[in-house]
Amino acid sequence: MKLELQAVMESVRAQMPEKRWLHTIGVRDTAIRLARKYGADPVQAEWAAVLHDVAKYWPVEKQRQALLDAGDTEPWLQYEKPLWHAPVGAIVAEQEYQVADELILDAIRYHTSGRPQMTLLDKIVCLADYIEPGRNFPGVDRLRELADVSLESALIAGFDSTIVQLMKQGARIFPLTVLARNSLLEELDSTQQDTKEAGRS
Ligand code: DGI
Ligand code: FE
Ligand code: FE
């Protein structure tokens, strides 16, 4: 039988410190708001948001094992551990919480890294994770303003800030993040091209 969201929320909450739960609620509220604004399904947004960080506090060895068991083809394990909780969250959502909707599972799986051709739901969950009310990093208010105008522009600015941060630390950049950013830039370019052409005719 499909689990009720309320039961899932209680179970997720029990697996994390209160601070992370408050973050999760912030992501949920923000994702629902963005879904309404941009025409995605608020119910899918809510499920993805509630589960997005479910594996964040799992011991890394358990995360590694879950990825190995699932046979995920992305090279997560060759990159830094803070990335792993995202695909592990998708595995947990499917296996422990009976989420079968691939849109929801993908939005969880790619919420940290992004990916090329992100779905509307991917974009909403990833951006909500950056701008939920509890977040406080340099530039977050600009991201919040951009989020009211363009999901793509806001996400590009979000990935820019992550990439700059990683570069300052001398850390590696996960390839999907670079591909996600390129793909969003291409989407913006083609929208601008369409607008120009519409203006000419
Ligand atoms: O789980 P949250 O804290 O809510 O946020 P998140 O899922 O965006 O995870 C952020 C962490 O992931 C942060 O420690 C930076 C790290 N990260 C994100 N993209 C990359 C990355 N680390 C590496 N090495 N490469 C990336 O491309
Ligand atoms: Fe996360
Ligand atoms: Fe998060």
* Tens-place pLDDT, residues 64-90: 999 999 999 899 999 999 999 999 999
Could you tell me the distance, in angstroms and rounded to a whole number, from the CA of residue 47 to the centre of ligand 2?
14
Residues with CB under 6 A from ligand 1: 53, 56, 79-80, 82-83, 86, 111-113, 129, 162, 166, 171-174, 177
Check residue 152 and give its pLDDT. Answer: 98
Closest ligand 1 atom to 163 CA: 27
| Mean pLDDT of the 92-98 span | 97
Check residue 194 and give its pLDDT. Answer: 83
Check residue 201 and give its pLDDT. Answer: 64
| Mean pLDDT of the 180-192 span | 95
Closest ligand 1 atom to 79 CA: 24
Contact criterion met (CB below 8 Å) for 53 and 85: yes
Could you tell me the distance, in angstroms and rounded to a whole number, from the CA of residue 134 to the centre of ligand 1?
17
Contact criterion met (CB below 8 Å) for 8 and 51: yes
Closest ligand 1 atom to 111 CA: 7
Lowest-pLDDT range, 126-130, 154-158, 162-166, 192-196?
A: 192-196
Task: Check whether 121 has a pLDDT greater than 70.
Answer: yes
Could you tell me the distance, in angstroms and rounded to a whole number, from the CA of residue 192 to the centre of ligand 2?
31
Could you tell me the distance, in angstroms and rounded to a whole number, from the CA of residue 197 to the centre of ligand 1?
38
Could you tell me the distance, in angstroms and rounded to a whole number, from the CA of residue 23 to the centre of ligand 2?
10
Total structural domains within the chain: 1
Check residue 193 and give its pLDDT. Answer: 82
**21: domain CATH number?**
1.10.3210.10
| Mean pLDDT of the 112-141 span | 98
Check residue 191 and give its pLDDT. Answer: 85
Check residue 192 and give its pLDDT. Answer: 83
Closest ligand 1 atom to 23 CA: 4
Please give the full DSSP string across 56-113, using - where no structure is assigned: TTS-HHHHHHHHHHHT--S-GGGS-GGGTHHHHHHHHHHHTT----HHHHHHHHTTTT
Is the Cα dihedral 45, 50, 54, 56 positive or negative?
A: positive
Mean pLDDT estimate for the chain: 96
Task: Check whether 1 has a pLDDT greater than 80.
Answer: no
Ligand 1, atom 11, residue with closest C-alpha: 82
Give tens-digit pLDDT for 9-62. Answer: 999 999 999 999 999 999 999 999 999 999 999 999 999 999 999 999 999 999
Cα Rg for the chain, rounded, in angstroms?
Answer: 17
Which domain covers residue 103, as residue numbers?
Answer: 5-200
User: Which pTM value belongs to this model?
Assistant: 0.95
Four-CA torsion 127, 118, 184, 170, nearest 10 degrees: 70
In which band, very low, low, confident or very high, does the pLDDT at 2 lie, cut at 50, 70 and 90? low
